[in-house]
Amino acid sequence: MSSLGALVSRDGTPLCAADLAPLEAALSRCPADGHGSWIEGPVGLTHAHFWTTPEDVGEVQPVFRAGGLLALAADVRLDDRAGVCAAIGGLDERTATDAEIVLAAYERWGDLCTQHLVGDFAFALWDASRRRLFCARDPIGMRPLYYALTERRLVVSSQLEAVLASFPSPAEVNEPLLRDLMDWRFDRWCDETCYRGILRLPPAHQMLLEGGRLTLSRYWTFGTGPALRLRRDEEYLERFRELFLAAVGSRLRGTGPIGILVSGGLDSSAVAGTAHHLLATGAVPGVSGLRLYSSVFSATPGAEEGDYAAAVARRCPQAQATFLPGDDCWGLSDFASDGGYPLTEPEIGISRAVVLMLLRQAHQDGCRVLLSGIGGDQVLGGEPYHKASQLRDVEVSRLFSELPHFLQAGRRSAAGLLVDAWLRPAVPVPVRRLLRRALRQVPGTEPGRRPAIPPFPTQAARESFHSLTEGSFSARLGGLRIASDHVGVEHRLPFLDRRLIDFLLTVPARLRFRDGWIKWILRQSLVGILPEEVRQRTRLAWFSALAHRGLRDRARDRVVQLLTDPRLARAGLVSQSTLWQTWEEYLSGEPQGAPPRSLIGFLCAEAWLRSREVQAP
């Protein structure tokens, strides 16, 4: 969770210390273990250190190689260090830092080095011999990388504030992105920011500035490798267990106690149980302690998972468990710039308070690293029985036994289910898109912002690919990174391991869901690691009650304040009368399901615009 910055003159004009100063000053506000900067000719690199692995302690970036001809500033944590070091040769995996491995990988493979890196990373690398800047971001987008290209310069940073600081005047608002947020569309979030002229490098992309010309290219697409074909279901279960243990184990490298957020759901419980299993069996030496953090909701029954979290704590006796009351973490209880929160971009939800509370407690307890189960729904398929298209994955012999589960979850007739599963997909995509727009079911999406979908063997794999690459997930991960930076804790997500994702995209659908059970492969593979209470759990928690409590009761005055003279209406992005109508209709109805997305999108965008007024000189 370090921070980096790079500045390059496109015409070769030498830089001076004053040119790099705005980037350095912006990065110095991040929680850090020191800073390092380097300028040579037309390029400058700067780095704010935050050491979270034993190998990185004491490292000062930028790092250099090839007699100083290669220089790197990176925010990186690699998960297959031994494999990469063996392939490169000449590196000691026990002592080499992750940044040094990245630099050696570039020297070995050039632009193809990103295909060999497994982990979370964003970096800027200067190749003096070829006078080029090479930047890249990990396949899932765990580490951010922003950039702005002007006639004279390219500025790159893992912190949006740093790129903003390099502008001589305040950047203009990207109004189309705000309009998309109010419509709950997120395609632009993959490569745009809320500021005009400041972009983000999309996940799985690399960027090259050479000869003054900037080019972007995709270097990785999930599911395009050779499909794994195993003979028996038991072999798939064994392979999943092997990969999941590796994904969790590689993320337990730390400089202090390792924290894990445990809700009591399948995914976070799997991470906690696996981590404890690895420590108890001595498979991951050097971990100084394990701490579990859970929220309990005595006044919010739908969100209460305390009994399941307690079962996980009992399964992990060597871990210290902390349970924090979360009923006061209602929607808008910690929102926008409250408490000095860095609102450089709009939020995409009104309920970060629960996660922020747990992050702060973990930081107070000395944890620099936190693991959680985020991403499990995306890679395993969270609600397959709600998606009619996945009925097409069911083998004929199992169709009648699975059909009742689809009917119950989807609350539709058998005829409607069959139409949605087989007839509707037969309609060409352009026709379906026109029909949806005409019926106003969903807004249109921007073409070309999403990778082409590979020919997956199952609808379930297509759904997972879509979930992992959609802009809303990218925006969610971005918000998580901002919260982690603000508190000073690095968030790691084992389910988003590249190796695990590629494997799960190839498994037969029957291993994803079966006989009414979701995430079947996880439940079966982790017998003896997951508590039985959790492994056989079917009820899902409902956290919308917290959002409703904030909107309808505890923070109603704040909502009214944001609805009064909205800046979005001043800008012509929304009608104030429409906003009030949406609000009144929401209050007059029963609080069922989640609050209206249009209302949440407005509150997030409006709060961000008003925070800019406060920040303005």
- Please check the confidence at residue 448 and state whether its pLDDT lies above 50: no
The vertex-120 CA angle with 116 and 126, nearest 5°, equals 70
Q: Is 514 helix (H, G, I), strand (E, B) or coil?
A: strand
- Please check the confidence at residue 526 and state whether its pLDDT lies above 60: yes
What is the structure's pLDDT at 447? Answer: 38
Structural domains of the chain, with CATH: 3-218 (3.60.20.10), 235-380+470-535 (3.40.50.620), 385-444 (no CATH), 555-615 (no CATH)
What is the structure's pLDDT at 431? Answer: 66
Task: Give the residue carrying structure tokens 């391991």.
Answer: 497
Question: Which is more confident, 121 or 436?
Answer: 121
What is the structure's pLDDT at 449? Answer: 58
What value does the CA radius of gyration of the chain take, rounded to a whole number of Å? 24
Q: In whole angstroms, what is the distance from residue 528 CA to residue 53 CA? A: 29
Q: What is the mean pLDDT of residues 520-526?
A: 97
What is the structure's pLDDT at 446? Answer: 43
Q: What is the mean pLDDT of residues 219-231?
A: 87
Q: In whole angstroms, what is the distance from residue 345 CA to residue 178 CA? A: 10
Among 375, 370, 350, 351, which residue's Cα sits nearest to residue 360? 370
Residue 438, Cβ neighbours under 10 Å: how many? 8
Poorest-pLDDT segment among 32-36, 314-318, 326-330, 415-419: 415-419
98-105, Cβ contacts within 8 angstroms, sequence gap of 24 or more: 98/53, 98/55, 98/56, 98/74, 99/56, 99/59, 99/61, 99/63, 99/72, 99/74, 99/123, 100/63, 100/65, 102/72, 102/74, 102/76, 102/78, 103/63, 103/64, 103/65, 103/70, 103/72, 104/65
What is the structure's pLDDT at 281? Answer: 95
Q: What is the pTM of this model?
A: 0.94
Q: What is the mean pLDDT of residues 308-317?
A: 97
Poorest-pLDDT segment among 154-158, 223-227, 437-441: 437-441
Poorest-pLDDT segment among 25-34, 167-176, 389-398: 25-34
Q: In whole angstroms, what is the distance from residue 224 CA to residue 209 CA? A: 27
Name the H helices within 281-398.
306-315, 353-364, 376-380
